[in-house]
Amino acid sequence: MMVDERLSRMSWSVGEWTPPDDARRPRDRWGGTYWSYQPFSLIEPDWRIDPEVATEASRVERRIRAQKFHESTGKLEAISRYLLRSEAVSSSYIEGLRSNARNIVFEELKRLERTGTVVTNSGNTSAAAEVADNIAALTSAVNRLGAAENITWPDIESLQAELLPDLNQPGTRDRQNWVGGSDIHPGQAEFIPPAPADLMPAVQDLVAFMNGAATGSLIQAGLVHAQFETLHPFADGNGRIGRALIHTVLVRGGLTEGSVLPISQVLLTRSDEYVTGLMAFRGIPHGADLATESEPARELSISEGVNAWLAHFISAADDAVDLATALKAELDEFDRDSREIIAAHAQRTGTRIPRSDSTVWKILDVLPKLPALTIDVAARLTGTTATSAQSALEHLVAAGVLEKRSVDKGKRGYVSNDLLNLLNSTQRKWASTRFDTRISPPGRPAPGTLPERR
């Protein structure tokens, strides 16, 4: 692929802003010169990765492989789904979409009950429905784009359409956008992405790098994310799609097939470091004036900026391995506790413990995948009959593992409050700058916990 000469180095493109005729307030009538960012090429790099950064990336990749995130069958599939849900919820919180675990899981259950899949937009505009859409989009990115032989730019545009189906102007933007400052003009912007005329060469360069980087998968994922957020190629959804692309790259590289690393959790919790890292990637000093007659100064060389960003991203991935490992341990504890509760119930009632091939155990294995079930959904997920599923669900209610409650209009379901509370408490812990609310409280909005069962 020939590299467009505009990508031969990091630079700026000058633009002129004319205030709209209907601007009423003086502060909205700003007009003048502004500078939009012109990114550097990823496929023909004018940058080098420091040996220390490459060594650390290799170490974290080994940690990821050691966690066997590539295994996606049996109980690990359910755990993977739980991780994916946690990551999508965190990604949604970044965008201001906030709902508790119960509402989100019930929304997923309703979709599965009605359509046979959770990867379906319901047309519902509730916060829970929008978070469920994020889960669907992340699932699509992991499954569809992760398995594609090659990714195209229309593939990424389709991901935006899937995530935000009601946009008036989907697809690659044809207008200048900016980050921070006024909603009306770019005069006070913190960052101004490339002009529309400069976008297509840059996105094609990005796609080519996704399909054939000469780096390890973790470094590739970090650079893809930073470049996508820098290009800000869509009118809406850039953050969510940029985070989904992290997981797409990791899956394609064989690091996390069928699962996700909760990297968004770390990036969200350390938001100041995240923004600092992205600005370093762009070589822009904090507080740089992008609405001036002269071209903005560059604080860092391309290589310095790339390595500063990668150091932050790799550290976030390292922390994400710790978070995923701890969550898997808590899910294992839930499984052990549930089996003990079932055994105690059998002893208390003078009945036999269910056989090893019983539907009771199959349902227990899939609960992390969906902590609220109906009879039909349980039968579908366990590959058994509705009669067998109902009997097993009732057994779990009698033992105290599940409880019955309304999950939709006129529809009764079977719910694990323990797993819903775990999802909420996990979000709270991961919102702590120390990832432990016993040491430091959540530093950002996070779900609460459900009331204790009586």
Residue 6 is labelled as binding a ligand: no
- For residues 430 and 144, the model is more confident at 144
CB 375 within 8 A of CB 112: no
Furthest CA-CA distance within the chain:
85
In whole angstroms, give the CA distance from residue 57 to residue 50: 11
Q: What is the pLDDT of residue 405?
A: 93
Q: What is the pLDDT of residue 117?
A: 62
For residue 415, is pLDDT > 80?
yes
- For residues 62 and 453, the model is more confident at 62
Q: What is the pLDDT of residue 63?
A: 93
Residues 6+ apart with CB under 8 A from 62: none
For residue 443, is pLDDT > 90?
no
Q: What is the pLDDT of residues 302-318, one digit of tens each?
A: 999 999 999 999 999 99
Residue 448 is labelled as binding a ligand: no
In whole angstroms, give the CA distance from residue 91 to residue 422: 18
Q: What is the pLDDT of residue 449?
A: 45
Question: What pLDDT band is residue 74 in, cutting at 50, 70 and 90?
Answer: very low
In whole angstroms, give the CA distance from residue 388 to residue 383: 10
Across the range 58-84, mean pLDDT stands at 72
CB 163 within 8 A of CB 133: yes
Question: What pLDDT band is residue 367 in, cutting at 50, 70 and 90?
Answer: very high
Closest CA to 264 of 141, 363, 165: 141
Residues 6+ apart with CB under 8 A from 109: 370, 372, 373, 374, 377, 407, 408, 413
CA 149 to chain centre: 22
Q: What is the pLDDT of residue 454?
A: 33
Across the range 402-420, mean pLDDT stands at 92
Burial of 224 (0-12, 13-18, 19+ CB in 10 A): buried
Q: What is the pLDDT of residues 290-300, one digit of tens each?
A: 998 888 888 88
Which residue spans of the chain are classified as CATH 1.10.3290.10? 5-326
Residue 421 is labelled as binding a ligand: no
In whole angstroms, give the CA distance from residue 405 to residue 402: 10
- For residues 25 and 260, the model is more confident at 25
Residue 134 is labelled as binding a ligand: no
Query: Residue 293 — left, alpha, or beta (φ > 0 → left; ψ -120 to 50 → alpha)?
Result: alpha
Q: What is the pLDDT of residue 432?
A: 75
Residue 238 is labelled as binding a ligand: yes
Q: What is the pLDDT of residue 229?
A: 97
Instruction: Provide the percentage of residues in the chain whose pLDDT is more than 90.
Output: 52
3-state secondary structure 222-272: HHHHHHHHHHCCECCCHHHHHHHHHHHHHHHCCCCCCCCCCHHHHHHHCHH
For tokens 């775990």, name the residue: 422
Per-residue tokens: 39: 């990114």
Residue 232 designated active-site:
yes
Least confident of 144-153, 383-392, 434-443: 434-443
- For residues 324 and 33, the model is more confident at 33
CB 171 within 8 A of CB 157: yes
CB 107 within 8 A of CB 128: yes
Question: What pLDDT band is residue 446 in, cutting at 50, 70 and 90?
Answer: low
Least confident of 30-34, 50-54, 83-87, 319-323: 83-87
- For residues 243 and 379, the model is more confident at 379
Q: What is the pLDDT of residue 382?
A: 95
Instruction: Provide the percentage of residues in the chain whose pLDDT is more than 70.
Output: 85
Per-residue tokens: 55: 């060594």
In whole angstroms, give the CA distance from residue 167 to residue 276: 30
Q: What is the pLDDT of residue 451?
A: 43
Residue 175 is labelled as binding a ligand: no
Least confident of 4-18, 169-183, 249-263: 4-18
Across the range 34-59, mean pLDDT stands at 94
In whole angstroms, give the CA distance from residue 231 to residue 10: 13
If DSSP codes are grouped into helix, strand and coil, which group holds residue 411? strand
Q: What is the pLDDT of residues 419-437, one digit of tens each?
A: 999 888 887 787 777 666 6
Q: Where does 328-430 sit in CATH, by number? A: 1.10.10.10
* Distances, alpha carbon 442 to alpha carbons 317, 328, 430, 447, in Å: 20, 21, 8, 10
Across the range 159-163, mean pLDDT stands at 84
Question: What pLDDT band is residue 124 in, cutting at 50, 70 and 90?
Answer: low
If DSSP codes are grouped into helix, strand and coil, which group holds residue 123? coil
Which one of the listed residues 70, 185, 225, 232 is annotated catalytic? 232
Q: Which fold has domain 5-326?
A: Fic-like fold (1.10.3290)
- Average pLDDT over the chain reads 86
In this structure, the number of other CB atoms found within 10 A of the CB of residue 444 comes to 15
Q: What is the pLDDT of residue 403?
A: 97
Which residue spans of the chain are classified as CATH 1.10.10.10? 328-430
CB half-sphere exposure, 13, CA atoms < 13 A: 18
Across the range 144-168, mean pLDDT stands at 88
Q: What is the pLDDT of residues 78-112, one digit of tens each?
A: 666 777 777 677 666 666 667 777 888 888 898 88
The pTM (predicted TM-score) of the whole model is 0.88
Across the range 33-58, mean pLDDT stands at 94
